[in-house]
Structure 1
């Protein structure tokens, strides 16, 4: 992203004429759109719009005036409107225990979560249980819809899975969500990625905000995420697992189990036969013998 200098402005619209205003504004019956201005490239709309009829819009940093609150408290149960939350964990039992430990941790994954939890997040994020996923699917991350990214965990197998492997699943899916969030931040498509053509995706990625995604999307198309994760996120997953697990195992162990779900990638195929055999053996043994409790 071109972040040498970035400012967030209100785009104030008076009778169809746009005027850039800073974060404090006063005007009678006026509508606002929040946009981002960069050193290079055109202004980018955030998709956050609101209208005020009180004549006093106030200061956006305090969240005090009459506009839809595009955020709220992290965690807890869902509310009636997507404008009232940022991250919602509709989880129970072991899944909630694992998520809570990850959320309280100190790793790159926590930095990803914070990007969904700022004053004006690009997207909301929901974690929920789904009993209808196939038995061989631990979780799915749905395409963004109306500024919402949803991660669904398979509730049928969580109890019998090693707790650290459930943590790996949540971490893995959170990386998917962060990749979608990045795409959503440059897509002017009403909070959705569905319906965008390959030409449109190429065009918005070619602006240079996310060269890594652009590189992998150009090579692999819509299947780019696992390819990029295999080459660049194994250590990110391993760090988060070590943090979750209080470093009870070697770092190589955490790297090895981070490969689950990424074994159909070029990154995996580039490993030696002995490395792949070791990793598969570690994963198999831990799936069978790893602790299934969370506390």
Structure 2
């Protein structure tokens, strides 16, 4: 039996574009899944395998205060980007797409946009994947993250 995991959102952070809020929900959902998989009382074989892999990952980076974010940066950025790309059409995508296509993305919103959003929330010096990025890579990510602010604040 799984214990429920409660995610509490900072109301101040909710007054952002729907896509930014969706990014936060996806990010926190990954944290919740990591906690669930690691702490479940009756783990499945798959959960046991994950727990063992995660424990080994943690041992390799002993002393790392941000193991969840490092793990997310190493293994979840692409998956989170895929989720955001799937969710985006439900969040006023057409208006944002038309707006951004007129000046930022004339060929349509690229996959890099969603990957950058996945990095938002992992941009800490304690996160190796972020720390190891070049200044140019960080600037490109920040460019895309800034564009997400132009989205609608309400969901369809």
Q: Find the partner of 1:212 among 53, 69, 77.
A: 53
Q: CA deviation at 1:290?
A: 2.2
Does residue 292 of the first structure (1) align with residue 148 of the second (2)? no
Question: Which residue number corresponds to residue 143 of structure 2?
Answer: 281
Larger radius of gyration between Structure 1 and Structure 2: 1
Q: Find the partner of 2:69 among 211, 222, 226.
A: 226
Distance 1:222 1:185, change over 3 A: farther
- Rounded Cα–Cα distance in structure 1 between residues aligned with 2:130 and 2:12: 28
Q: Which has the higher helix share?
A: 2
Does residue 150 of the first structure (1) align with residue 18 of the second (2)? no
Q: CA deviation at 1:281?
A: 2.0
- Rounded Cα–Cα distance in structure 2 between residues aligned with 1:184 and 1:284: 36
- Rounded Cα–Cα distance in structure 2 between residues aligned with 1:149 and 1:255: 26
Question: Which residue number corresponds to residue 76 of structure 1?
Answer: none
- Rounded Cα–Cα distance in structure 2 between residues aligned with 1:156 and 1:242: 25
Verify the 8 A CA contact 1:216 1:227 in the aligned structure 2.
Answer: no
Question: Which residue number corresponds to residue 133 of structure 2?
Answer: 271
Aligned length: 131
What are the superposed Cα offsets for residues 59-100 of structure 1, whole Å, 9 maximum, x if unpaired? xxxxxxxxxxxxxxxxxxxxxxxxxxxxxxxxxxxxxxxxxx
Q: Which has the higher strand share?
A: 1
Verify the 8 A CA contact 2:17 2:152 in the aligned structure 1.
Answer: yes
Verify the 8 A CA contact 1:217 1:223 in the aligned structure 2.
Answer: no
State TM-score, norm by structure 1.
0.41
Larger relative contact order (Cα-Cα within 8 Å, sequence gap ≥ 6):
2
State TM-score, norm by structure 2.
0.74
Equivalences for residues 61-210 of structure 1 within 5 A: 122-123=1-2, 147-158=3-14, 160-185=15-40, 209-210=50-51
Verify the 8 A CA contact 2:81 2:114 in the aligned structure 1.
Answer: yes
- Rounded Cα–Cα distance in structure 2 between residues aligned with 1:217 and 1:186: 20
Verify the 8 A CA contact 2:85 2:114 in the aligned structure 1.
Answer: yes
What are the superposed Cα offsets for residues 193-247 of structure 1, whole Å, 9 maximum, x if unpaired? xxxxxxxxxxxxxx75534311332114563110000011001110110000138
- Rounded Cα–Cα distance in structure 2 between residues aligned with 1:234 and 1:184: 23
Question: Which residue number corresponds to residue 79 of structure 2?
Answer: 236
Verify the 8 A CA contact 1:171 1:237 in the aligned structure 2.
Answer: yes
Distance 1:212 1:293, change over 3 A: same
Verify the 8 A CA contact 2:58 2:67 in the aligned structure 1.
Answer: yes
Does residue 262 of the first structure (1) align with residue 122 of the second (2)? yes
Q: CA deviation at 1:261?
A: 1.0
Equivalences for residues 9-28 of structure 1 within 5 A: none
- Rounded Cα–Cα distance in structure 2 between residues aligned with 1:167 and 1:227: 21
